[in-house]
Structure formats: C-alpha cells, structure tokens
C-alpha cells in the first residue's frame, strides 16, 4: 500500500508540474522527471524490502513471489497469500492517492500503465520480459544462500541491489510501457482508475509467463 501511494503520487505530481496548461513557461523542465520517478520506485523497493525482509522475506512483487515459488523457496499457500496481499495493498494504495488528489488523479491517468504511442505491443512485451528478467535475476542473486554463507555482508546489503535494479529498469522502460514489472502495481492502478484505455494493453496472465521464462534462464 505504501509503495503504490508514494510512487503513484510521484507520477501524478510530475504530470501535473509538467503540464503546459499549468506551467506554460517551463513545463518541459518542471517536476522530478523520469529520473525522479525511477528513484521513487527503486527507493521505495529498497526501503520496504529492508524493513520487511526479516518478517515476510520482502515480498512486494507477485512476479518475484511466483519465481520464488517455482524455485521451491516459497510454499504454494504462502505464495498465493502473498500475491493476494500485494494486489489488495496496491489497490488500497492507489485508492488513497485518488482520495487525496481526486481531480489530479482523473486528469493525469491515475498513474496507470499503458503502451506509449509509437511502440508496438511486441516491443512492450519484449521490454517487460527483459525488465522482469533483470529484477528476478537480481533477487535470486542477492538472496543466494551459497553467497550468503560465503559473504556475511550479502544478506544485509540485499535490498540495495534489488532497489537499484528496479531503478534501472524503470529508467529504461518508463518511456515504453510505464514499466509493468510489478503486476500488483499495474493491477492496482488499473482497477482504481478503471478506464478503457488502461485495460486495453494489459494482459494480466503474462506475468506468469514472463516469470516462468526468467526462471528457465536462471
């Protein structure tokens, strides 16, 4: 919930500040920009994984949770409960943003993901496959028990590379799809915004396929 509240509010705030109708003189240079949005996503992942790693293992992304289930690091029941909690939390987080900033939320698309003009759906899928692979690979590497046994500092630093991976992937894919490597984030924004264009480019079962492909390469 906190993850979606902070990140979606950042996206909407940037769109408002860079709106030519609001700031006609300097719209192009206003707001945090893509760099700031990427930092918001990566920074929140770093904070939340660090805070919850000792409680739940830092499960925030359904794609990562499903990948860990395939690797037999999470039981089926626990994986299902994690994914349900992630999706419900995402919906609640977006609901908070809409409640606090209703006018801006509707005007600027609710922070929902969509395919940018000029890109084909194939390009969008490819971008998400690569982005999800980078994230899942980083998670598996940062939590590898063999590395943890050899290097005692690895478990403590694990949230840092995971957050940085999210940051880098967002820099690369925000201009293409808005970055949908976290299905809960995409689902929560789409459910609360609930606009036809938001659902048009979304194929929700794809995250299972993407994670399965990533796990195969791992």
Residues whose CB falls within 8 Å of the CB of residue 155, separated by 6 or more in sequence, listed in order = 53, 143, 148
Structural domains in the chain, sorted by start: 2-217 (1.20.1080.10)
Question: Given CA atoms 202, 204, 206, 207 in this order, what sign does their dihedral have?
Answer: positive
Nearest 10 degrees: Cα torsion 179, 61, 194, 106:
-60
Q: CA of 108: how far to CAs of 13, 97, 199, in Å?
A: 9, 12, 16
**In a 10 Å sphere around its CB, with 0-12 CB exposed, 13-18 middle and 19+ buried, how is residue 103 labelled?**
exposed
Confidence at residue 153, expressed as pLDDT on a 0 to 100 scale: 56
Confidence of residue 214 (pLDDT cuts 50, 70, 90): low
The highest-confidence range among 15-19, 62-66, 163-167, by mean pLDDT, is 163-167
For the chain, the average pLDDT equals 83
For the chain, report the end-to-end CA distance as a whole number of angstroms.
30
pLDDT in tens, 94-125: 999 999 888 888 888 888 888 888 888 888 88
């Amino acid at each position: 919930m906190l993850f979606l509240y902070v990140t979606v509010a950042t996206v909407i705030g940037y769109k408002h500040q860079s709106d030519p109708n609001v700031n006609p003189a300097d719209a192009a240079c206003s707001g945090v920009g893509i760099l700031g949005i990427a930092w918001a996503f990566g920074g929140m992942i770093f904070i939340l994984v660090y805070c919850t790693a000792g409680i739940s293992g830092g499960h925030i992304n359904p794609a990562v949770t499903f990948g860990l289930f395939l690797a037999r690091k999470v039981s089926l029941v626990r994986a299902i409960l994690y994914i349900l909690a992630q999706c419900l939390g995402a919906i609640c987080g977006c609901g908070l943003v809409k409640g606090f900033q209703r006018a801006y939320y509707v005007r600027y698309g609710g922070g929902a993901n969509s395919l940018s003009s000029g890109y084909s759906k194939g390009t969008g899928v490819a971008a998400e496959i690569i982005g999800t692979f980078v994230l899942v690979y980083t998670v598996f590497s940062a939590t590898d028990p063999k590395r943890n046994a050899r290097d005692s500092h690895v478990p403590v630093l694990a949230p840092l590379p995971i957050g940085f991976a999210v940051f880098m992937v967002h820099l690369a894919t925000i201009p293409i799809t808005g970055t949908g490597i976290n299905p809960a984030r995409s689902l929560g924004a789409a459910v609360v915004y609930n606009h036809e264009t938001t659902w048009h480019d979304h194929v929700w079962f794809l995250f299972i396929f993407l994670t399965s492909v990533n796990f195969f390469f791992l």
